[in-house]
Amino acid sequence: MGARCSKFSFCWWHSHLKPTVLQSSDLENGEKNSFPNFREFSWEELKAATNGFSPENIVSEHGEKAPNVVYKGFLESEGWIAVKRFNKSAWPDSRQFLDEAKAVGNLRSERLANLVGCCFDGEERLLVAEFMPNETLAKHLFHWENQPMKWAMRLRVALYLAQALDYCSSRGRALYHDLNAYRVLFDQDGNPRLSCFGLMKNSRDGKSYSTNLAFTPPEYLRTGRVTAESVVYSFGTMLLDLLSGKHIPPSHALDLIRGKNFLMLMDSCLEGHFSNDDGTELVRLATRCLQYEARERPNAKSLVTSLMSLQKEIEVPSYVLLGIPQGNANGTQPLLLTPMGEACLRMDLTAIHEILDKAGYKDDEGIANEETLNSKKQGDAAFRAKDFATAIDCYTQFIDGGTMVSPTVYARRCLSYLMSDVPNQALADAMQALVVSPDWPTAFHLQAVSLFILGMENDAQESLREATNLEAKRNKT
């Protein structure tokens, strides 16, 4: 890789993203041809990935009737993941849990936040899925901050959701539990995905449907059973959400529709941004989905057909319609930081020391292989013991001796300087580590934390972004 340049003798480069545009191939159900196989994770792996199931890593929780928690986690092999941890009484039969998880794990679609693995250990039952970094439909639709969701994006959400349900039906998984605006997630490109977690019951007794009776399919109240038609009913309630920007009870919405007051349903933020014909067609589709008799509701495939013809601004990428910074002019994207990256952002030197100490010399890639050198060994011992003044002296003797060059020695001396409140020297060491090993994420991380401490916020963010991009590339390969 070429030399880096600028006032720090390096330059930044960005990984440019290919715009995500609604192509004809996107107007299918989005089945993926290649994807990591579903696998079983160990309890220790997932505990480490979620920082001991830290409350800080919780991304969603459910109520008393389904006390399951979803955590954000990071694995070197997988990158970012979402981990759903069931309550202790769910799925007492581990074989039944595994069979159900494998069945869902066989699905692979661009319209799903796919299930990539599971874990059962003692009483613990966990599911592992792709992590979606751009929040839920509920957040963007009901709790927006910068702009209301555009009409074209609402239509795209409806289509992608119908395609997800159609795909699942075609693969024998037509039942979806508690379909709602919190089950629709947005990926890094702003594309809506249906959470795979709803394809599995929350427990073997199947008690995992909506607890709000005002929104529950009529047949579920009569029989306690979920059917494919029940899922279409829930899809109809989500069409009402998209139309109104609110969570409206279907009975109230149907009264307005029967009274030919459907415009009262429409989100006032959408005024002037949709045609009456389009609004009427979406209301008609919602009405069909909300029929009292299950047999009178459309199936998922016919929903896809109806929604295809309504799509607007199909050439515009989802992140643009959603109003998120993904794919902006300079190619930057929201950072999904690793534990090392988060420690750098917090300037948590103790956490960085723990990570470096645990990593050992696996990142030296054969460069530092003369373990008999006394000054290096003494420096390592002092570093582990947090005697940073001695570590600096020993590492300096090793470097000045010129016998060999080791990026990890520069990295450890860098942190030792930071611990000793000498950030300028630390930054110089981080840069030297990059000279020796230009694609080493840890060197960029240490450069970032040095810059943060020196108050160079913008340059620090660039270093952090580069470290994150390099780690992502390593995980893919």
Q: What is the Cα–Cα distance from 274 to 152, expressed in whole angstroms?
A: 9
Which of 40-59 are b and which e, b meaning 16 or more Cβ less than 10 Å from the residue's Cβ?
Answer: ebeeebbbebbbebeeebeb
User: From residue 120, how far is each of 86, 106, 124 by CA, in Å?
Assistant: 10, 18, 5
DSSP per position, 378-428: HHHHHHHTT-HHHHHHHHHHHHHHTS---HHHHHHHHHHHHHTT-HHHHHH
Confirm if 1 and 11 have CB atoms less than 8 A apart: no
Sign of CA dihedral 200, 206, 207, 211: positive
| Helix axis angle, 407-419 to 349-359, nearest 10° | 160
Whether 189 is catalytic is: no
Write down the catalytic residue from 26, 166, 178, 241.
178
Token digits for 222?
């009569």
| Burial of 153 from C-beta contacts in 10 A (0-12 / 13-18 / 19+) | buried
Backbone angles phi, psi at 28, to 5 degrees: -105, -165
Q: What is the Cα–Cα distance from 340 to 464, expressed in whole angstroms?
A: 10
DSSP H/E element including 28: none
CA nearest to 104, candidates 235, 195, 15:
195
Confirm if 132 and 186 have CB atoms less than 8 A apart: yes
Query: Active-site positions?
Result: 178
